Copies of this chain bind each other. A is one copy, B any other.
Amino acid sequence: MASIKDVAAQAGVSVATVSRVLNSHPSVSEEARTRVLAAVDALGYRPNAVARSLRTAQTRTLGLVISDVLNPYFTELARFVEEEARALGYSVIIGNADERPDLQDHHIRTLIDRRIDGLLVSPADGGSPLMREVALSGTPMVFVDRWIPGIDVPVVRADGTGAVKDLVAHLHGLGHRRLAIIAGPAATTTGNERVEAFRDALRELGLALPAAYIGQGDFQAASGRRATEGFLALAEPPEVVFAADNLMALGALDAIRARGLRVPDDIALAAFDDIPWFVHTAPPITAIAQPTADLARAAVRALADLIEGRTPQSVTLPARLVVRRSCGQDATDQRSDR
């Protein structure tokens, strides 16, 4: 592959001049410029990003460490992150942690070794020593969706409390009183916050959230299935299952179906995170939708701000309730959303 030297030779100038042309430095004669450009064209020359990065100490690359790519919510987030990053002139390397802290650390390691300019993380746990070290070391870093208390970096996330309150009101309005939740891992902020929001909303309506109605999940489908089986085996099973993410909702649906029960007639189901498929499940699933694209954009912009020396902003955007038919139907909730 042609290097800058070849271009210089072909154009009859020095490498410095070639470099200047390529970086549109002002002091280059018109004649030299055209000769260099011609040589670049003739040789099909492309600058070596590796060499450039070594010299300039920047890679124009962002690392995105995501809890689970197979979760449609995160897939979508990743997609919008890449889109915004591209608009800002950055590439993105995605590391999929599969909700495993060890994998998460592996990816952070690799990304740091590659000297990415900044790190976007949706942590799968409460923060490894490595993560703290990286944050402290001054590597530009932003948390998205989930964050870690005690690590002082900007956070871009959705606030679900309002939507959860709406959801609980909706359920209450439909006559449901025994509400259960499948929680995410306690080590994640989203795992806790959603339970807390749910508990608070129940309390406001004078309802309790007994321990038996809190299933422990890990944001994966299988755990949703297990937790739901647990609920259904209770002497007094809940009337509603609220899954803290879409995959656990899928698992819950599995478990309910396996028991031969119907949604919403026998048991109601709702989920945090809205995804296109929820419109087409049997029945369409009531969910809390996050503004994924906006979150992604805000996160990338905050990271770029950090990298480029501006002051980044933490951002919290509201999630909203999308009512469908999985919790039963009342007079005011006829319309079906898309």
Contacts and interface: CB of A to CB of B under 8 A. Distances in A.
Nearest to A74: B75
Nearest to A114: B49
A211 interface: no
Contacts of A76: 70
A69 interface: yes
25 contacts: A1-B137, A46-B109, A47-B113, A48-B54, A49-B115, A50-B54, A50-B115, A51-B54, A69-B78, A70-B75, A72-B75, A75-B75, A79-B96, A86-B106, A91-B93, A91-B110, A94-B94, A250-B276, A254-B279, A254-B338, A280-B281, A280-B282, A281-B282, A282-B282, A282-B284
Contact of A280 (B72, B112, B115, B253): B253
B49 A113 contact: yes
A105 interface: no
B281 A48 contact: no
Interface string A67-95: 00110100110110010001000010110
Interface string A317-338: 0000000000000000000001
A53 interface: yes
A55 to B, nearest CB: 9
Given A46-B112, A51-B54, A75-B75, 14 more contacts: A1-B137, A49-B113, A50-B50, A50-B54, A50-B59, A69-B78, A69-B79, A70-B76, A70-B79, A72-B72, A93-B93, A254-B338, A277-B281, A280-B282
Contacts of A257: 280
A334 to B, nearest CB: 15
Contacts of A69: 75, 78-79
Interface in A250-299: 250, 253-254, 257, 276-277, 279-284
Interface string A100-126: 000000100110111100000000000
Contacts of A276: 221, 250
Interface string A154-175: 0000000000000000000000
Interface of A: 1, 44, 46-51, 53-54, 59, 69-70, 72, 75-76, 78-79, 82, 86, 91, 93-94, 96, 106, 109-110, 112-115, 133, 137, 221, 250, 253-254, 257, 276-277, 279-284, 338
Nearest to A283: B282
A109 B221 CA distance: 38
Q: List 3 A-B pairs, minimum CB-CB distance, nearest first.
A: A282-B282, A277-B277, A49-B113
Nearest to A91: B110
Contacts of A283: 282
A240 to B, nearest CB: 18
Contacts of A106: 86
Contacts of A112: 46
A57 to B, nearest CB: 9
A305 to B, nearest CB: 22
A263 B282 CA distance: 12
